[in-house]
């Protein structure tokens, strides 16, 4: 049996490990307190020390730092790009130059590193204003606002280094795109790619997409209203030229390329690339491909991409976030409704609980992060999956728990 190591500690890695464990022996490093179910093992040892046939790297930071290169140098198959490929996410300024070279449609932009240049650019723009830190900022480096004052204040704060340190000393100021967003995940083997079911993320904290941007409060897949023609156009105008440009630059990209797309009235535009699975998109996608995930990711890691199987129905994920999230999440609140293995105290068909920010305290689970749990419902169709996800989520509670009730509402 394939021995697979998953690197990471969030609900995304929990979901990947859960699905991989269907056909592989799985160890998660460092994992978290809620990952003990489903036959998963947790270890403090590094991926190198653990030894594996396949290593799947979950988060962007170790990819940007070159963990995939280090592991590949020891001869192990790795799902996740090297540091060269990870620059697509690690630097927004690099990304924008790359997209221009590849001819991928994306927002017009300027790179600025002084307050004067930022002000001049913003004053010449029309709303919505978009101000991004160049470097990684844990998903919180982007402001989209209709207020010029807010945009100016944000640019000053970021450039000062106070808000995001070095990551904010250079900014990308972009044309604001308007339309529906969707998440396209392409599995890549260095030469070829194949897309998974299209997913939708709910980024804002509040219902009706109000409130601050978060890491993501819920997701569903597949997105039925994105027809095959539009997906085909995205593959042709966005993904194919990206893989070609990567190859031109000598980058052997093996991993998932997650294209955040905006469907504008002028056609699909790329908002950004991530070099790993979305979180919470992974919590819907991994269960849908549970049957074949180990083979699929293994084949990509070995440069011989196999076919993407059909998704097993539909999935909906509801995130339960801590009081005070995203600014200052409250830790240590006791979570009700979970059994000793971290799953629902009373199991429900088609419901699985992925842990993001939990810890064990005197035998109970307590909150220990911003996003605490991701409750996924699966079923033959979205309506069933949604009903299951919300029924599961309704059985879990903790003081100050924040959740959106409109994930996948009206979706079909």
Closest listed residue to residue 71, CA positions, set 104, 93, 46: 46
Q: Hey, what are 247's tokens?
A: 């190859």
**Other CB atoms within 10 A of residue 40 CB:** 19
- Cβ 146 to ligand AMP, closest distance in Å? 11
Contact between 89 and ligand GLY per CB under 6 A = no
Contact between 13 and ligand GLY per CB under 6 A = no
Stretch that binds ligand GLY, among 42-50, 105-113, 277-285, 321-329 (CB under 6 A): 277-285
- Cβ 340 to ligand GLY, closest distance in Å? 30
> What residues line the site for ligand AMP (CB under 6 A)?
107, 128, 130, 139, 142, 144, 174, 176-177, 181, 203, 213, 260, 271-272
Compare residues 176 and 313 and give the one whose CB is closer to ligand AMP.
176
- The single residue listed with the structure tokens 């300024």 is 93
Could you tell me the CA-to-CA distances from 1 to 77, 176, 187, 297 in Å, in that order? 15, 49, 22, 15
Compare residues 118 and 177 and give the one whose CB is closer to ligand GLY.
177
- Cβ 12 to ligand GLY, closest distance in Å? 8
- Pick from 13, 134, 281, 333 the residue near ligand GLY by CB under 6 A: 281
Q: Where are the alpha helices (DSSP H) in 235-361?
A: 240-248, 281-288, 293-301
- The number of residues making up the chain comes to 412
- Determine phi and psi for 66, rounding to 5 degrees: 95, 20
Compare residues 94 and 348 and give the one whose CB is closer to ligand GLY.
94
d(C-alpha 24, C-alpha 170), whole Å? 43
d(C-alpha 290, C-alpha 313), whole Å? 11
Binding to ligand GLY in span 173-202, by CB under 6 A: 201
351 binds, among ligand GLY, ligand AMP, none (CB under 5 to 8 A by kind): none
β-pairing verdict for 351-355 and 193-195? unpaired
- Cβ 201 to ligand GLY, closest distance in Å? 4
278 binds, among ligand AMP, ligand GLY, none (CB under 5 to 8 A by kind): ligand GLY
Contact between 279 and ligand GLY per CB under 6 A = yes
Closest listed residue to residue 13, CA positions, set 368, 276, 393: 276
**Cβ–Cβ < 8 Å for 212, 205:** yes
User: Residues in the site for ligand GLY, rule: CB under 6 A?
Assistant: 139, 201, 216, 274, 278-279, 281
């Amino acid at each position: 049996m394939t021995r697979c190591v998953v690197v990471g500690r969030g609900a995304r890695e929990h979901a990947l490990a859960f699905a991989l464990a269907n056909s592989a022996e799985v160890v998660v490093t460092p994992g978290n307190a809620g990952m003990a179910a489903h036959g998963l093992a947790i270890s403090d040892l590094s991926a190198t020390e653990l030894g594996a046939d396949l290593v799947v790297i979950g988060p962007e930071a170790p990819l940007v730092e070159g963990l995939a290169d280090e592991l590949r140098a020891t001869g192990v198959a790795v799902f996740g790009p090297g540091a060269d490929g990870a620059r697509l996410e690690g630097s927004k300024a690099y990304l924008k130059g790359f997209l221009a070279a590849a001819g991928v449609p994306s927002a017009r932009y300027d790179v600025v590193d002084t307050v004067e240049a930022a002000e001049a650019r913003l004053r010449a723009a029309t709303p919505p204003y978009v101000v991004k830190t160049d470097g990684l900022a844990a998903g919180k480096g982007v402001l989209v606002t209709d207020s010029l004052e807010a945009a100016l204040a944000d640019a000053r704060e970021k450039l000062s280094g106070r808000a995001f340190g070095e990551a904010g000393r250079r900014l990308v100021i972009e044309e604001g795109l308007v339309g529906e967003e969707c998440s396209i995940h392409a599995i890549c083997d260095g030469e070829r790619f194949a897309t998974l079911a299209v997913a939708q993320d709910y980024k804002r904290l509040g219902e009706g997409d109000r409130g601050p941007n978060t890491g993501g409060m819920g997701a569903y897949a597949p997105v039925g209203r994105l027809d095959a023609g539009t997906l085909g156009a995205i593959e042709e105008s966005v993904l194919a030229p990206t893989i070609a440009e990567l190859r031109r630059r000598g980058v052997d990209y093996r991993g998932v390329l997650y294209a955040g797309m905006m469907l504008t009235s002028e056609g699909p535009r790329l908002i950004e690339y991530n070099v790993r699975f979305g979180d919470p998109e992974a919590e819907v996608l991994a269960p849908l491909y549970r049957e074949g995930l180990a083979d699929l990711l293994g084949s990509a890691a070995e440069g011989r991409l196999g076919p993407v199987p059909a998704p097993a129905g539909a999935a909906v994920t509801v995130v339960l976030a801590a009081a005070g999230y995203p600014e200052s999440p409250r830790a240590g609140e006791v979570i009700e409704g979970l059994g000793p293995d971290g799953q629902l105290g009373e199991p429900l068909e088609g419901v699985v609980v992925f842990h993001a920010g939990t810890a064990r305290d005197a035998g109970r689970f307590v909150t220990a992060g911003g996003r605490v749990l991701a409750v996924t419902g699966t079923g033959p169709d979205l309506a069933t999956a949604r009903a299951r996800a919300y029924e599961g989520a309704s059985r879990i509670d903790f003081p100050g728990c924040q959740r959106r009730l409109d994930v996948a509402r009206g979706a079909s």
